[in-house]
Structure 1
Amino acid sequence: MGARKAIILLAAASATALSLTGCFGVETTPEKSAKAAAKAKNAVTAQKGLKIGAVNAKVKVEDAAIVQDPNGVAAVVRLKNTGSTQVTVPIAITVSDAQGKKLYANDTPGLDPSLTSVAVLKAGGEVDWVNNQILVAGKAAKAAAEVGQAKGKGAPSALPEIAIEGVTHGQDEDGFFAQGTLRNESAVSQKRLVVTCVARDGGKVVAAGRAVVEKLDPFATVKKPTKFTVFFIGDPKSAKLDCSAPPTVLS
């Protein structure tokens, strides 16, 4: 067989192989990219933003406040539970300007659950909920809050106790902050524990912030407290500081 004929036969065989590959469904790079883009679009479409539905008659919104500084805007909602312990309680907030125009609402799909709900509300208890990731195109003036029906199952008779100790506050080049330690007094490891700190001066909220501790094991296991740092929006230096960390894993 001549070299020229051999080359022609080889080229024909290669073309046949490529044709068969296409027939058997092997995707090209553009096809893969298009499919990945469609899948991502469908995933975003499938996400749903917060919807309150029926209002929770057992949880009272005692206060909804706004604090802001060059670092951003935070909303602080003070809740009081007049009923039994409730788990995964949704909170809808709307931030408006001085003319009442809506600037922000936490109903965007994909938000972290801690920005749309509080993990647990003790029977007869009060708690501050903070959203410090508010993006507004204008000057925020006021906030309104609405609480929905609890989404979680019934809570155990005794909730895990999280102790907050040694809280101090200071200031550095990044702004005002609070630092302290956490002790998980229960036997249940906590995940994505949210620590909120709110500063009030004469009952008025003047600063607020929050931090997320990814994991907090029982103190009996680790034998040492876990440090946390909360960065504030607002100025807390002359105010009374109140920090809390409701448990996220109950049993």
Structure 2
Amino acid sequence: MLGTATVVLTGCLGVETTPEKSAAKAAKAANTVAHQKGVTVGKANASIKVEDAVVVQDPNGVAAVVRVKNTGPTQASLPVGITVTDARGRKLYANDVPGLDPSLTSLPVLAAGEEVDWVNNQILVAGRAAKVAAVVGAAKGNAPGALPKIALAGIAAGQDEDGFYAKGTIRNESSVAQQRIVITCVARDGDRVTAAGRAVIDRLEPAKDLKKPTTFTVFFIGDPKQARLACAAPPTVLEEGGAK
């Protein structure tokens, strides 16, 4: 089950030195990336409807927001492919390059009848982004009968020297520890997306094992003032012993 919330805003010989170790690590990482493949989405998933796909841009970068709805059964590990273009239709970015975090190329789960925003806020382009095309592919994972419940609460907006943000608490109401769970927040003025952002929590233990609430901060691309803010946090580990 997706956690959702909505608010309205206002050198010695034979010894490897530190530089040598760093160079070796960099070479290993480069070799790993060179053998990776980026996400490729072939045939679109007939059960997942892309209801809207837009870009938001400000001096901090570009965020792509893809609104999807599941018209079929619950599905897990859904690849999401996007291509960002300028006003003339020239390609500026696509998330088919190797080495991207899985959360920038896929959606962990989408329950039957669920409608949610998927956000990629790590898009750097030269020029002005105008459009984004999105396609969701076939599920690559198995979904259990019941999904872990993630709850968001206490969401409040603010602004500081780093820009606009939203803060809140996230609670894992299941017994399954979550890994790299992503909180997305999208601001809409009517039907128009005015801002979007996301935050990542590396590990979220079950709430019963925690002494205090887990907080998060989402920084926005765009301006969320006077807009309706919707936040969500789909679970990433769907059952005991599972992995993202």
Q: TM-score range by the shorter chain?
A: 0.7 to 0.9
Match of 2:195 in 1: 207
Q: Are the aligned partners of 1:87 and 1:150 in contact in 2 as well (CA < 8 Å)?
A: yes
Match of 1:22 in 2: none
Distance 1:104 1:197 in 2: 22
Confirm or deny that 1:80 pairs with 2:83.
no
Match of 1:63 in 2: 52
Q: How does 1:1-251 map to 2 (within 5 A)?
A: 42-152=31-141, 154-251=142-239
CA radius of gyration, larger in: 1
What is the deviation of 1:155? Answer: 1.2
Distance 1:206 1:38 in 2: 41
Which has more helix, going by share of residues? Answer: 1
Deviations 1:21-49 (A, max 9, x none): xxxxx9x99xx999988765542331101
What is the deviation of 1:52? Answer: 0.6
Partner-residue secondary structure (3-state), 2:44: coil
When the two structures are superposed, what TM-score results if normalisation uses the length of structure 1?
A: 0.84
Q: Are the aligned partners of 1:170 and 1:237 in contact in 2 as well (CA < 8 Å)?
A: no
Q: Are the aligned partners of 1:98 and 1:142 in contact in 2 as well (CA < 8 Å)?
A: yes
Partner-residue secondary structure (3-state), 1:114: helix
Amino acid at match of 2:92: L
Mark the runs of 5 or more structure 2 residues left unpaired by the alignment: 1-13, 240-244
What is the deviation of 1:71? Answer: 1.1
Deviations 1:178-232 (A, max 9, x none): 0000111101111101000000001110000000011111111114321000000
Evaluate the alpha carbon distance shift between residue 121 and residue 34 of structure 1 in structure 2; reply closer, same or farther with a 3 A threshold: closer
Between the aligned residues of both structures, percent identity stands at 69
Which has more strand, going by share of residues? Answer: 2
Partner-residue secondary structure (3-state), 2:128: coil
Q: Are the aligned partners of 1:90 and 1:116 in contact in 2 as well (CA < 8 Å)?
A: yes
**More displaced stretch, 220-229 vs 181-190:** 220-229
Q: Are the aligned partners of 1:56 and 1:149 in contact in 2 as well (CA < 8 Å)?
A: yes
Partner-residue secondary structure (3-state), 1:133: strand
**More displaced stretch, 51-60 vs 34-43:** 34-43
What is the deviation of 1:54? Answer: 2.1
Query: Which is bigger in relative contact order (C-alpha 8 A, separation at least 6)?
Result: 2
RMSD of the TM alignment (CA)? 2.2
Amino acid at match of 1:177: Y
Evaluate the alpha carbon distance shift between residue 34 and residue 139 of structure 1 in structure 2; reply closer, same or farther with a 3 A threshold: closer
Amino acid at match of 1:161: K
Distance 2:157 2:78 in 1: 30
Distance 2:39 2:177 in 1: 28
When the two structures are superposed, what TM-score results if normalisation uses the length of structure 2?
A: 0.86
Match of 1:20 in 2: none
